Amino acid sequence: MRTTVLIQRHLFGVLIASVLVLSGCASQSLNRQNYESIKQPMSVAWLKTRNLRAPTVAGLVLTMAGGIATAPVGVYLNEQSTKDLRMTVVLPDMGFEVASRVMRIWREKGVVHEMVLLQSPIENDHKFQGPSMVFEIIEPFYLGVDGYLVATCTITMKDNFGKTIYKSKEWFNGFSQHRKRFSSKEFKAENGRLLIEEMEFASQHIADSFVKNILVNLSK
């Protein structure tokens, strides 16, 4: 039992490290002049969120530490666990959840730019007629073996001509946010009530962090 717990902590530590690396990879300050030159309205969109991954301890161990014979077994176990979660729980699209929350927060803070939220997710090659802000939940989007949700969101803002004027990554980690730890079974109970609540909390956290950081940029 103790060995299993140590393995879980090690694997989760590796995951946290990877998220920290990712979160520092893309950051671009927003120039107030560029922001104020944007014509209205600004399109707010999101890319469809990928399936939440829900690997098992055994699956991760076999995949990461196993050889040629065992690694495929680990991949299979993780895929089955993820498939089981997807078939058990209807999850909200976190990209939409973050985008809609950002719009609400900005309006509450009196942001002058008019924003229009698109009605459905877009593709990577989507072309906008004017300024845009796009949200994408990227890897890792992960229900860790320790029972914590991890999610990373990249936000890209473009001006009237499609030039990127702001780009950042915001992330949520249930462990670092001192969230209560649940087992996969508990997360899936009651049609995924606890997991959905955690995703909503994570979406709010990401939205709050993004607005806070961008307002700091605009105040300079």
Q: How far apart are CA 199 and CA 95, in angstroms?
A: 11
Tokens 């495929």 belong to residue: 72
Pairing assessment for the beta strands 164-173 and 149-158 based on DSSP bridges: antiparallel
Class of domain 27-52+91-218: alpha beta
Q: Give the domain ranges of the chain.
A: 27-52+91-218
Query: How many CB atoms within 10 Å of residue 16?
Result: 18
Convert 109-119 to b/e letters by CB count within 10 Å (16 or more is b): eebeeebeebe
CA distance 173 to 218: 27
pLDDT tens digits for the chain (220 residues)?
444 444 444 444 444 444 444 444 445 677 788 888 888 889 999 999 888 777 665 555 556 666 666 666 566 566 666 677 777 778 889 999 999 999 999 888 876 678 899 999 999 889 998 999 999 998 667 777 667 899 999 999 999 999 999 999 999 999 899 998 888 788 888 888 998 999 999 999 999 999 998 888 777 7
